[in-house]
Structure 1
Amino acid sequence: MPKIGEHLNPLFENNFKYHSPKEGQPEKYEAIREKAKELAYLIDGNCPNSREKALAITNIEQAMMWANASIARNE
């Protein structure tokens, strides 16, 4: 935490707090999760097991989480 007299960083204050879902947001989260899962299954069914495949799946997970964070933090 900042010391007395220091200023709070609004970005940190927003990014490191709990964002309770607002009306309409759960449906957006679910739509993003469903499309991410669809892409994960597509990659899983068409790519050989490999480091590259694992990274592709990991990056889909990251994209899903960041997209949902975008909604939570900025709406």
Structure 2
Amino acid sequence: MNQQIENNFKYHAPKEGQPAKYDALREKAKELAYLIEELCPASRERSVAMTELETAVMWANAAIARNE
């Protein structure tokens, strides 16, 4: 059995303190999202930047959920 696969594909109930970490990450990402919207012209590139920011938050949350 591969422990990494097992860990990556199971439900990780939030542990004490984790929801606050998720909130902090989302708030900082939201600040950056608004800055990107303000400074960058509407374009494919801005859309990609927003998508990648969302992706970064999801992976950061996964790092907390999977490894704490």
The ranges of structure 1 where at least 4 consecutive aligned residues each deviate by more than 4 angstroms after the TM superposition are: none
**Equivalent in the alignment of 1:50:** 43
Identity %: 69
**Equivalent in the alignment of 2:2:** 9
- What secondary structure does 2:30 align onto? helix
More helix by share: 2
Which protein has the larger Cα radius of gyration, Structure 1 or Structure 2?
Answer: 1
- So what's the TM-score if we normalise by structure 1? 0.89
Name stretches of at least 5 consecutive residues in structure 2 with no aligned partner: none
**Equivalent in the alignment of 2:34:** 41
**Equivalent position amino acid for 2:62 in 1:** A
**Equivalent in the alignment of 1:29:** 22
